[in-house]
Amino acid sequence: MAKDTVTVTNNATGQSVELPLYHGTHGPSVFDIRPMSKQLGLFTYDPGFVSTASCQSGITYIDGDEGILLYRGYPVEQLAEQSSYLEVCYLLLYGDLPSAEQMGEFQDMIMNHSMVHEGLRRFYSGFHHDAHPMAIMVGVVGALSAFYHDSLDIHDPQHREISAHRLIAKMPTIAADSYKYSIGQPFMYPDNSLGYVENYLRMMFATPSKPFEISPTVVRALELIMILHADHEQNASASTVRLASSSGANPFASISAGIGSLWGPAHGGANEAVIRMLETIESVEDVPKLVARAKDRNDKFRLMGFGHRIYKKYDPRARILRQAAHEVLAEIGAEQVPLFEIATELERIALEDEYFIERSLYPNVDFYSGIILKAIGIPLNMYTVIFTMARTVGWISQWMEMLDDPEYRIGRPRQLYVGEARRDYVPIDKR
Q: Which window, 1-9, 59-67, 359-367, 391-399, contacts ligand ACO (CB under 6 A)?
A: 359-367
Q: Among 23, 34, 38, 359, which residue interacts with ligand ACO (rule: CB under 6 A)?
A: 359
List the beta bridge partners of residue 4. Answer: 21
Nearer to ligand ACO, 107 or 364 (CB): 364
Decide: is 303 part of the binding site for ligand ACO (CB under 6 A): yes
Residue 129 annotated in active site: no
Query: Does position 351 bind ligand ACO by CB under 6 A?
Result: no
What CA–CA distances, in Å, run from 305 to 222, 274, 277, 349, 356?
18, 6, 10, 14, 13
Catalytic one of 308, 326, 424, 429: 308
Q: Which of residues 83-112 bind ligand ACO (CB under 6 A)?
A: none
Is the CB of residue 369 less than 8 Å from the CB of residue 321? yes
Alpha-carbon distance of 212 to 100, in angstroms, equals: 29
Q: Is 270 a residue that touches ligand ACO (CB under 6 A)?
A: yes
Of 352 and 424, nearer to ligand ACO (C-beta) is 352
Task: Note whether 305 binds ligand ACO by CB under 6 A.
Answer: yes
- Binding-site member from 365, 385, 396, 402 for ligand ACO (CB under 6 A): 365
Query: CA torsion, points 400, 406, 410, 413, in degrees to nearest 10?
Result: -110
Q: Are 402 and 254 in contact (CB under 8 A)?
A: no
Cα distance between residue 131 and residue 178, in whole Å: 9
Alpha-carbon span 310 to 64, nearest angstrom: 5
227 is a contact residue toward ligand ACO (CB under 6 A): no
Q: Active site includes 308?
A: yes
Residue 302 in contact with ligand ACO, rule: CB under 6 A: yes
Q: Name the residue whose CB lies closest to ligand ACO.
A: 307
Stretch that binds ligand ACO, among 79-87, 134-142, 169-177, 358-366 (CB under 6 A): 358-366
Kindly state the smallest distance separating residue 322's Cβ from ligand ACO, in Å.
15
CA distance 302 to 306: 8
| 154 close to 242: Cβ distance less than 8 angstroms | no
Q: How far is the CB of 422 from ligand ACO (least distance, A)?
A: 35
Position among 364, 384, 388, 398 found at the interface with ligand ACO (CB under 6 A): 364
Q: How far is the CB of 146 from ligand ACO (least distance, A)?
A: 30
Q: Which residues in the 309-338 window bind ligand ACO by CB under 6 A?
A: 309
Using the CB atoms, write b or e for 410-423: b if 16+ within 10 Å: ebeeeeeeeeeeee
- Annotated catalytic residue within 23, 366, 404, 424: 366
Residue 303 or 325: which CB sits closer to ligand ACO? 303
If the CB atoms of residues 177 and 233 are measured against ligand ACO, the closer one turns out to be 233
Which string of x and - marks every residue 366-385 that binds ligand ACO (by CB under 6 A)?
x-------------------
Q: Does 233 bind ligand ACO (CB under 6 A)?
A: no
Q: What angle do CA 235, 240, 246 make, to 5 degrees?
A: 125
**Position among 132, 165, 180, 267 found at the interface with ligand ACO (CB under 6 A):** 267
Contacts of 285 (CB under 8 A, 6+ apart): none
Q: What angle do CA 215, 107, 142 make, to 5 degrees?
A: 90
Q: Site for ligand ACO (CB under 6 A): how many residues?
A: 17
List of long-range contacts for 329-334, beta carbons under 8 Å, 24+ apart: 329/371, 329/375, 331/215, 331/217, 332/215, 332/217, 332/218, 332/375, 332/376, 333/374, 333/375, 333/376, 333/377
Residue with Cβ nearer ligand ACO (119 or 264): 264
Q: Is 308 in the site for ligand ACO (CB under 6 A)?
A: yes
Give the C-alpha separation, 15 to 5, whole Å.
Answer: 16
Of 60 and 151, CB closest to ligand ACO: 60
Q: Is beta strand 16-23 parallel, antiparallel or unpaired with respect to 2-9? A: antiparallel
Binding site for ligand ACO (CB under 6 A): 266-267, 270, 294, 302-309, 359, 361, 364-366
Please identify every residue annotated as catalytic. Answer: 308, 366
